[in-house]
Amino acid sequence: MAAAADSESNNSASGNISLIEKETKNSGSTGTSRLTEDSISGLSSYRGEPGVITVHKFNDANMNQVQDAGENDIEGWLIRLYRWDNTGLYIVREGTTGPDGTITFTDLAPTRYKVWEEDRDCWTPTTPPWMNNWDGGYYTVRYLNPGQNISVNFGNVYTCPLSSIGDTVFEDPNGSGIQDPGEPGIPDVVVDLTCAGPDEQFGTADDIIASATTDANGRYLFTDLPAGMCEVNPDETTVPAGYELTTNNDPMTVDLGPGEDFLDADFGYQPPRFTLGDRVWYDQNQNGIQDANEPGYNGAAVDLFDNATCSGAPIASATTDANGNYLF
């Protein structure tokens, strides 16, 4: 005798569905076991036109049990169907919600089902009301009549403390990748943020996308972020021309914890580097021009200052070579 679960087809138009063949989870059990022919004999008695159960998953940010404008669908959330009858509790389908937050299970035998969603850290169910916590998730019970099409909306709200990411975009003249004392911030740089959102996947509809502009000290900050993976990426078109990244972290990936203030997303840029130098020579005729046969001065010390009066300590020093040449 074939199991009723074996005859159910997988022809959903949304979500990512797997057919679970001949598996059972008995009430009160924490394990999964294989069905025997005897234990599934009662399933062949189902009669009537098959039905459909569609599950929709969304972020119920205001906890009113309704998906309002601005509350995103959630992709990638694991959903299961358990067929619940007098012979036991059978897993018949499972899969993840699609980009529109839905998953549709078709060709279902008319009977009672547990519709189950996975439990995730920091996410609390808001709808349907009176959800039951069981087997690593939450479920609601629905009875499917012959030919019936049932919709189940699962809303969840983020309940962990919110987090933040930020710090400084700075000039790094020495190219050390660290903001040393006296190295200024770079103002007016646009920093882009992308966080993976509730589905924990980049590039989907529920991504959190934001931008910030550095202040006069090169500082920026993103607040009110949920925990999860985020990428921070300065917009190179807003960095001064010719500046080169020294911190080797563009983009920077941050695994943000609940309530964490991650203030180490720093980006250093080295300003364009120029060369300065030429020659020290014996000006034998004192005309200020190096004429033919006027030799270079070997071993002359040349200091470079960052001011017009050459006061204070030099910022660099060089010694002329055998031809009187030097270069900074």
**Dist. CA 159–CA 165, nearest whole Å:** 19
The average pLDDT across 316-328 equals 89
The average pLDDT across 241-252 equals 93
Q: Give yes or no for residue 42 having a pLDDT over 50.
A: no
**Dist. CA 97–CA 105, nearest whole Å:** 11
Q: Which residues does 163 contact at the CB level (< 8 Å), separation at least 6?
A: 225, 226, 227, 256, 257, 258, 259, 260, 261, 262
The average pLDDT across 119-134 equals 92
Q: Which residues does 302 contact at the CB level (< 8 Å), separation at least 6?
A: 277, 280, 317, 318, 319, 320, 326
Residue owning tokens 């279902």: 108
pTM higher than 0.75 for the full model? no
pLDDT in tens, 293-310: 889 889 999 999 888 898
pLDDT in tens, 192-233: 999 998 888 899 888 999 999 999 999 999 999 999 999 999
Q: Give yes or no for residue 322 having a pLDDT over 50.
A: yes
pLDDT of residue 46: 56
Contact between 256 and 228 under an 8 Å Cβ cutoff? The reply is: yes
**Dist. CA 113–CA 192, nearest whole Å:** 45
Q: Which amino acid is at 122?
A: C
Q: Give yes or no for residue 149 having a pLDDT over 70.
A: yes
The average pLDDT across 220-248 equals 96
Contact between 168 and 218 under an 8 Å Cβ cutoff? The reply is: yes
H helix or E strand, kind and range, residue 209: strand 208-213
pLDDT of residue 15: 63
Q: Which amino acid is at 64?
A: N
Q: Which two tokens stand for residue 153?
A: 């909306």
40-44, 180-184, 253-257: least confidently modelled range = 40-44
Mean pLDDT of the chain: 85
pLDDT of residue 1: 28
The average pLDDT across 75-84 equals 93
13-22, 36-45, 85-94, 127-136: least confidently modelled range = 36-45
Dihedrals φ, ψ of 23, to 5°? -115, 145
Contact between 90 and 114 under an 8 Å Cβ cutoff? The reply is: no
**Dist. CA 205–CA 154, nearest whole Å:** 17
Give the up-direction half-sphere exposure of residue 254: CA atoms within 13 A in the CB hemisphere.
Answer: 27
Dihedrals φ, ψ of 123, to 5°? -115, 125
Q: Tell me the pLDDT band of 87, cut-offs 50, 70 and 90.
A: confident
Q: Which residues does 184 contact at the CB level (< 8 Å), separation at least 6?
A: 170, 171, 217, 218
